[in-house]
Amino acid sequence: MLPHTPLSRRIDAMLDLVGRTTSWIWLLLLAVIVVNVTARHLFSSGRVEFEELQWHLYSIGFLLGMSYAYQADSHIRVDVLHERMSPRTQAWVELYGILLFVLPFVVLIIYYSIPFVVSSWQLSEVSQAPGGLPYRWFIKAALPLGFTLLLLAVVSRFSRVWSALFDDPAAQQHTTTQGNNNGR
């Protein structure tokens, strides 16, 4: 358990709201899939708009939901190694992982995705499929938005890791005691 900081509490509350709100997209996606499959099989009338709306909703759900998963610590990690480490070592691995891998990757995606969206908006890009959806820039805008939310989650997590390692003597004592109690 990492201690919360005032910054992490504010960011996590916002990301929790975004995550819970975004979770409704999955229900909407399910409804669109059911309508499209029903129309295609019962009425032999599949719609390109529904096909594109499906991947738009999936993309938005994934891109906005990844910050919630990271904030809630429900993302994938190599638990075989992670669970064998003391809490203090886990915090050090997390700190270096954030600084060397996650942060640079997220910043690069944001940096390069913004011109991608701006170009699409300036060109008034639309789907090339007949009957496809307009405003292609809108779905592309989910990329920098999702990664900006992930950046906030990373900042929150970093503040918690930093606090565990350097600021909070009670948390340092707790992680040291916890590690010794687990026989590590």
Q: Is the pLDDT of residue 167 over 50?
A: yes
Q: What is the dihedral of CA 128, 131, 135, 136, to 10 degrees?
A: -40
Phi, psi of 167 (to 5 degrees): -100, -35
- Give dist(CA 180, CA 184) in Å, integer: 6
| pLDDT for residue 182 | 43
pLDDT digits (tens, 9 = 90+) for 53-97: 999 999 999 999 999 999 988 777 667 777 888 989 989 999 999
Taking the model in full, what pTM does it have? 0.84
pLDDT > 90 fraction of the chain, expressed in percent and rounded: 66
The residue extents of the domains of the chain are 6-181
| pLDDT for residue 178 | 47
Q: Is the pLDDT of residue 176 over 60?
A: no
pLDDT digits (tens, 9 = 90+) for 12-65: 999 999 999 999 999 999 999 999 999 988 888 878 888 899 999 999 999 999
- Give dist(CA 133, CA 114) in Å, integer: 21
Going by C-alpha positions, the residue among 141, 160, 142 that lies closest to residue 3 is 160
